Structure 1
Amino acid sequence: MKINISAVHFKADKKLEGFIQEKVEKLASMYDKVLGSEVILKIDAKEAIDNKIAEIRLIIKGNDLFAKKQCKSFEEATDIAVDALKKQLTKYKEK
């Protein structure tokens, strides 16, 4: 599965990219019809504490699943977004 990671107005380090890659790959192992994923990382209002945003789009044949979470760190936002996508994927598979 191809995972495209984009960081808006900053450069994500290899450690963060590896963390995201590992988490999103677990989603692909849950369902064999996952074609790919797009992850967008953004920093909202620099003064705010919870200013890290992770948007994850899971590309599935016929339908895409999406989660967007905002937290103190990109790792935390990614974790919560992946958990939300796990729930969405479980519901999608039941259809």
Structure 2
Amino acid sequence: MEIKIKSIHFDATEQLKAFIEKKTEKLVKAYEDIQNVEVQLKVVKPATAMNKEASLNVSVPGSKLFVEKTCDTFEEA
């Protein structure tokens, strides 16, 4: 499984990247044939709370899965 992490308008720390990789590795429990996972992180409105947006594109044979959530921190999303 290949994991791609994109951070838009900021530089993600190594600690955040390690956290994301650890969490996405757990997806194998739900789907064994995951081809790749693309994680996109974006700060929506820098001066407000609930401004961290995380989205995942998961490619599995025959379909693509997508989820998106906006929270106060990337780890929470």
Mark the runs of 5 or more structure 1 residues left unpaired by the alignment.
78-95
Alignment-derived partner of residue 41 in structure 1:
41
Alignment of 1:78-89 (within 5 A): none
Structure 1 residue identity aligned to 2:12: A
TM-score by length of 1: 0.78
Structure 1 residue identity aligned to 2:75: E
Deviation at 1:46, TM superposition (A): 1.0
Structure 2 residue identity aligned to 1:46: P
Give the secondary-structure state (helix, strand or coil) at the position aligned to 2:38. Answer: strand
Whole-Å Cα distance in 2 between the matches of residues 35 and 28 of structure 1? 10
Structure 1 residue identity aligned to 2:64: D
TM-score by length of 2: 0.95
Mark the runs of 5 or more structure 2 residues left unpaired by the alignment.
none
Alignment-derived partner of residue 30 in structure 2:
30
Whole-Å Cα distance in 2 between the matches of residues 50 and 32 of structure 1? 33
Structure with bigger RCO (C-alpha 8 Å, 6+ apart): 2
More helix by share: 1
Runs of 4+ in 1 over 4 A off after TM superposition: none
Name the % identity. Answer: 39
Whole-Å Cα distance in 1 between the matches of residues 28 and 58 of structure 2? 9
More strand by share: 2
Alignment-derived partner of residue 8 in structure 1:
8
Alignment-derived partner of residue 20 in structure 2:
20
Residue-pair matches, total: 77
Whole-Å Cα distance in 2 between the matches of residues 29 and 11 of structure 1? 30
Deviation at 1:6, TM superposition (A): 0.4
